Amino acid sequence: MDGAFDTYWQAPLASAPHAPSIRQALTATLDPRIPNDVRQRALEHLEALKTQADAPQTGFTLADDWESDSALRYYGLQLLEYAVRYRWPEYGAAQTEQLRTWVRCLAGSLRAERDPLFLRNKIAQLWVEVAKRCWGDEWMDMDAQLVNLWEKSMADKGTVNKVFVLYVLETLSEDVINGEDAVAGLRLEVLGASLNEVMISAGLYEEYVKTRGERKEVRCGEQGWLARICEFFSLCVKQARMSDQSPQLVESMSACAVKTLNALRPTMAWISLRAAAEASCVDCLFLPFHTADVALQTAATETLFALLSRPYNAHWHDAWLHVLLQALRPDRVALIRSTYEQTASGPGEDDAKYTLQKKMSELLSVLADAIAQHPAALAMGNKLDLPSFFDLLLYVLQSKSLVVSIPVLHSWSRMMAVEEGAIIDIVFQALGPLVQTCSARLLRYENIPAEANDEIIEFLDEDFDTVPERHAFLGNYRRYCISIIQTIGRSRPLEALQHVLEQMRSMLQTGPYTVDRGFDPTRYYKASLPVLQFDAQYNVVVAALKGYATWCADTSALPHDDPIFAKAEQDRRQAEQALQEWSHSAMSLPIDEPEIAAMVLQTLVTILRTTQAGTSFLLRVVQHLLTMHLDDNPAHAGFSDAVKGFESLRVLELQKLALSFSNELLEVYQELEPRIDALARKHGEDVRLAWGFRSFLFMIIHRATNIEPQERMARLQSMLAPVYESWQDPHLAASVETLQGFCEALGLGDLAGFYKQHGFERVADWSAQQLDESGQARQAEIRARNDRLPLRMTKSMLAATTEKMKPGCDEFETACALWSAAIPVILPNLLQMLRHAQAYHNPANWTQLPDELQQVVRRTMQDRFWQAGISAESKEQFYARVSGSKTSFEGFASVVRGTMRNIREQGYHVLYLMTKFDEQFYGLPELAEPLAEALFADAEALSANHLHPIINLTTGIVQRCPPHHRARFLPPLLTRLFGKLDAKIAAEWEAIGAAGAREGGEGAGEEELGDEMRMESVLRQLTFSMVSFVPFLLEFDRAQQQQQQQGVPPSQSGGSNGAVQPPPAATAAAHTPAKPTVSDVVLSDPSVLEPLILFCTHALRMRDQRCCSTICKVFRTITPLFQTPHAPAPQVREFISTEVLKACITSLHEPYFADLQKELASLIAQVLVLYGRFTATPREVLLSLPEMGEAKVDRALGRLGKAGSERLQRAIVLELLEGVRGVGIHEAGRIRREVPKGGKGRATAGLERYMQVEQLPSVGRDGEEVGLDGVADLFGEA
């Protein structure tokens, strides 16, 4: 090989020997008329040339030939690039020196008029690739060569050299400091030190060397590149501002200024703030605001944002303060305002100006946040005009574009917590406009039709392509508005309450919420504009009341002899008097609109629970709740559903009062009981409402303290007697013995005969075919039998018993005594019900039917979905269609599947409520196995959207399981959960992959494509729920410990955010084998560990980035735990060293996982480093890859063992595995998710945090179809 190098590493030839064949091959690849097979052979020929020994010399000869066409020269640069990137380690010192010489020659001969920009950029990329491999070691004079290029006269070469150097410095900064470049990562210390050295001034570098020790001179000159770039930028802007210059020169200098800013921006993220201050970066970056060039202003705003958003550190306080004060100078605040006003534009009018406004808002938000975090440093003793700055913040907040205003809205929400006097005074002056703006912006814009003539809606249409993103953004916007109103209610309670309640009263008195003022039940629409406006005001009132409650808590903690306390008590009495007067006024107003009545009812209860009002006020509100009446009209389905929703809310609010005022309500219990009984009888057809009213009475007796224990127990047992008797009914026990018997009991017996009789198999559109009288009677019978099951009453009474009940209190002991005998009686029948409700979906149970009826059964089990952004119809149209088809074939199918779904979900809820009794539930010796069987035996037969409740229930069971029962109780459940759902999820992903492959061959219809999109969306949610359950298990005990330290009850612990941490040694040591941690159970029991790790391994290959990222963190947590010689560690090590390692490598080289290279490479490195000492398996896996020789692998493994940082380990892995598959890691890593510059979806990167979609699954209402909104209630109700 060295001999071969000697033959060609000489001066370049006058012409490349391969030039004719290369030119012909390039022509063949670019000419669309050339046959495909010829084009393919041409590409293969061009690729083969890259590996030939004389390729670098040929490449330079082609690239340096000015007379050749650009395509040929570009291919020459590709030959050089291949030599640098893939063959550099093979070359000796003389050969790498020759490569550097050729790259320098190419850079030195650039000419703007002859070299296209893409050629110049490619040469700059080549320079950077060489620099990453040898700058700071073999190449010590690179900076001098860059300075030499920079200082060439612009009269000779224009700005071509300047732009070249800027591109080199920008790319070096991105690859070495900000990016995850593998080659740069291998030499990070040398490259990072060198880059810092050449960027800062000589004086600053000398100080740096004194504190850091060793030095390596690579710099040239005193100035440093930061100062040079700022100086050149100032010159460019000056030239661009000179209107007497030629338009061509002005345009050229403006473009050059933008490129200069592009080079500065990545540097601003890491350069020392002292260097930025010394180079007067802020002064330079404000120069574009003196021009009218929007592109230049935008680039300057982005660069300022990169500099000013740097996190604060006390070590560089002075430099940070200097930079911030420079940006906040009064003249510069005025300059920002002037630019902001000049760039005002309507929706869709000027994309460039609108983008600048969004970026300026982000910049203002950064400045405001700095003031909020360090008010004393910035507000005191400095010549700042803070009132003008805050006035600008208020002005931007009021923008009709919510995307423009949300950064400063977020900053205002933070500013409200500042306690610095000067800031408080300014904020108080803005309270009026803040309340007004935030109140108006609480409108639910997502429910307003797009055709509404509203500028805010038009901007939203411009900004968002997908409905879920839009919903998530608006949810965040409202959250910040509510936070501000709540803080105002806390700081100025009297004024805030008076203002917001008066506005609500005015709306009640004048709005179209009664029949007399225009309300028409026949045209009812729950999202009408008047309802949405009242809903916004209702949220304002609730926020103000929360703020008032916080103020009450603040003032009650003051010393009672403090004069402030006396004044606060006087204000509190005044506020409570005003609240009671408002409530009496509201209760006297007639309301016919169900949604409005519900919100008024909630407001009254909130006021009652917030104030310390007497019994008379309580009884007046309770009386109003009991006597409120809305006339139902079943002929109008929308209105009738709203009335039913109001009745359900009334029950819920009564139960809240029972918890808060049980003693007071007990005093009037004799009066309440007959009225509640009457309401329960009135709503007897609705089991949920009837038992909700009875639960209200139960809660009063259970929670009251002024009643004798024996009397309480007797009364409660009497109330629970129907529940006890229902579960002990021998007919119920007989009905759940078999699936067939259970179906008969529910009215679902011989359903196949019913389908055959009515011809279901012959009807294509079930929603268009109406049931006859017998069909409707069968439908009603199924509903009635479902209602007669004891599930609803049990759920209602268990919820009433356990709601907000703390373990150990008297109420808890009473509850345990009440239910201890019932739970063992309920569970056997309940588990059988759940078992059958799942088995009903299993096709294996319907194989005796003819094929056409089996197809009818499968179709019956398919839910009708609506999904935001996917379904062609609107949500309202979907629910109207569902509501209008209740008596159709589709309505009958809905009742059938709804019956089974209700049984499952109510049963899950009953089980969850039972877990609150600890020993009475977990102490049952033979429960775990039957419970696992009931929950998971046929789980794979359920559709993906029906599996969320099982995961939620399992989460609750784990949370509440006492430590001494974990080792016995949890393994059967967790083993079944991971085994069944792994198989289900893997099969669903495989089906989606197969469907995608079919689409590649033949087009899919729009409806079919929509169904597949809905399936994939639901599957992603299920996968993420299951993936999130893994870190929940591993960090559960740590989370419990942290919550206990913070005073949060352990039972309120939630799931994981995916950031997994191993249990601390101290915590682990505190647990004994008799009381293991959850992670101990998971990691030490092979029956749980095996399916868990298998699921995690499969998740690494599922095409969902957040799931893959979470699982990478999981494996990085558990991999170090299996380094012992004791079982099951050796077996786990072998599995991770083979299957997990292979999965990581496979995902690493697929373009879909490009954004996860960092996580995947870190995990691969960890496995190689930790397990390479115990087994040769990781090495063998690497050797099995294509073009992976032993020497290459062993060299990489040796370097991994010595690597001192995680980034260096990642870089070694990425370098080792580059090019194993078709898409190399280097190219994949360049993939960026870019937002289009035109049209919709033009959100800036800084605004992405306000558009995160939280898709949390929840359960729909009983018997209703499931809607897929894709935001907060994936399985939400209409």
DSSP string for residues in 251-278: HHHHHHHHHHHHHHHHHHTTS-HHHHHH
Instruction: Please report, for residues 12, 774, 1081, the alpha-carbon distance to residue 968 in angstroms, rounded to integers and kept in the order given.
Output: 77, 51, 9
1219 token code pair? 């090019």
888 token code pair? 């159709």
Q: Does 68 or 15 have the greater pLDDT score?
A: 68
* pLDDT of res. 789: 95
CB 132 within 8 Å of CB 175: yes
CB 236 within 8 Å of CB 291: no
Q: In the predicted model, is pLDDT for residue 9 greater than 80?
A: no
Instruction: Transcribe 762-803 into DSSP letters.
Output: G-S-GGGSBP-HHHHHHHHHHHHHHHHSTHHHHHHHHHHHHT
The sign one gets for the Cα dihedral 772, 777, 780, 782 is negative
Q: Does 1007 or 446 have the greater pLDDT score?
A: 446
pLDDT tens per residue, range 1110-1163: 999 999 999 999 999 998 999 999 999 999 999 999 998 888 888 898 999 999
Q: In the predicted model, is pLDDT for residue 1089 greater than 90?
A: yes
Report the SS3 class of residue 1239: coil
pLDDT bracket for residue 446 (50, 70, 90): confident
Structural Rg of the chain based on CA atoms:
36
Question: 1268 - beta bridge partners?
Answer: 867
pLDDT bracket for residue 1252 (50, 70, 90): low
As a whole number, mean pLDDT of residues 260-281 equals 95
As a whole number, mean pLDDT of residues 756-761 equals 91
Non-local (6+) Cβ contacts of 248 within 8 A are none
User: Look-up: residue for tokens 């109510």?
Assistant: 906
* pLDDT of res. 740: 93
CA separation for the pair 880, 429 (Å, rounded): 48
pLDDT tens per residue, range 168-211: 999 999 999 988 788 998 898 899 999 999 999 999 998 888 77
pLDDT bracket for residue 1047 (50, 70, 90): low
Most confident range (mean pLDDT) of 116-130, 558-572, 1197-1211, 1217-1231 is 116-130
Q: Please choose, from the candidates 255, 432, 217, 455, the residue with its C-alpha nearest in 3D space to the C-alpha of residue 347.
A: 455
CB 160 within 8 Å of CB 119: no
* pLDDT of res. 8: 38
642 exposed, middle or buried (CB, 10 Å; 0-12, 13-18, 19+)?
Answer: buried
* pLDDT of res. 45: 87
- Mean pLDDT over all residues of the chain? 87
Q: Please choose, from the candidates 234, 295, 305, the residue with its C-alpha nearest in 3D space to the C-alpha of residue 268.
A: 305
Q: Does 1040 or 333 have the greater pLDDT score?
A: 333
287 token code pair? 């120069």
Q: Please choose, from the candidates 1194, 1105, 1111, 1185, the residue with its C-alpha nearest in 3D space to the C-alpha of residue 1150.
A: 1105
The sign one gets for the Cα dihedral 82, 86, 87, 93 is positive
Q: What is the largest CA-CA distance in the chain?
A: 110
- Alpha helices (runs of H) in 174-246, residue ranges in sequence order: 182-186, 188-199, 202-212, 225-241
| Contacts of the segment 677-684: beta carbons below 8 A, 24+ positions apart | 679/626, 683/647
The rounded percent of the chain whose pLDDT value lies above 70 is 88
Non-local (6+) Cβ contacts of 1233 within 8 A are 1155
* pLDDT of res. 39: 85
DSSP symbol at 916: G
Most confident range (mean pLDDT) of 68-72, 460-464, 791-795 is 791-795
User: Look-up: residue for tokens 């041409």?
Assistant: 42
CA separation for the pair 660, 696 (Å, rounded): 12
How many Å separate Cα 382 from the centre of its chain?
Answer: 40
Give the chain's count of helices (H) and strands (E). 64, 0
As a whole number, mean pLDDT of residues 913-925 equals 93
Q: In the predicted model, is pLDDT for residue 155 greater than 90?
A: no
* pLDDT of res. 4: 32
As a whole number, mean pLDDT of residues 544-553 equals 95
788 exposed, middle or buried (CB, 10 Å; 0-12, 13-18, 19+)?
Answer: middle
- Alpha helices (runs of H) in 112-181, residue ranges in sequence order: 117-134, 142-150, 154-157, 160-173
Q: In the predicted model, is pLDDT for residue 1042 greater than 60?
A: yes
Q: In the predicted model, is pLDDT for residue 1231 greater than 70?
A: no
Please count the residues of the chain.
1278
Q: In the predicted model, is pLDDT for residue 1257 greater than 60?
A: no
* pLDDT of res. 1275: 25
DSSP symbol at 135: B
Non-local (6+) Cβ contacts of 893 within 8 A are 766, 859, 860
CA separation for the pair 1014, 1035 (Å, rounded): 32
How many Å separate Cα 1117 from the centre of its chain?
Answer: 22
Q: Please choose, from the candidates 1153, 1158, 1165, the residue with its C-alpha nearest in 3D space to the C-alpha of residue 1223.
A: 1153
DSSP symbol at 174: I
476 token code pair? 């965040």
Which amino acid is residue 184, in one-letter code? A
Q: Please choose, from the candidates 448, 354, 454, 452, the residue with its C-alpha nearest in 3D space to the C-alpha of residue 1239.
A: 354
Q: Is 189 left (phi over 0), alpha (psi -120 to 50) or beta?
A: alpha
Instruction: Transcribe 1084-1136 into DSSP letters.
Output: H-HHHHHHHHHHHHHHTTSS-HHHHHHHHHHHHHHGGGG-SSSTTHHHHHHHI
CB 702 within 8 Å of CB 802: no
pLDDT tens per residue, range 357-406: 999 999 999 999 999 999 888 877 678 899 999 999 999 999 999 999 99
CA separation for the pair 79, 1080 (Å, rounded): 56
CA separation for the pair 1278, 1265 (Å, rounded): 9
* Backbone dihedral angles phi then psi of residue 32, each to the nearest 5 degrees: -65, -15
1107 exposed, middle or buried (CB, 10 Å; 0-12, 13-18, 19+)?
Answer: buried
Instruction: Please report, for residues 222, 736, 1031, 1205, the alpha-carbon distance to residue 963 in angstroms, rounded to integers and kept in the order given.
Output: 67, 33, 18, 38
Q: Please choose, from the candidates 229, 127, 1206, 270, the residue with its C-alpha nearest in 3D space to the C-alpha of residue 135.
A: 127
Q: Does 1013 or 1058 have the greater pLDDT score?
A: 1013
Q: Which of 546-555, 859-868, 1090-1099, 1250-1259 has the lowest mean pLDDT?
A: 1250-1259
As a whole number, mean pLDDT of residues 719-734 equals 95
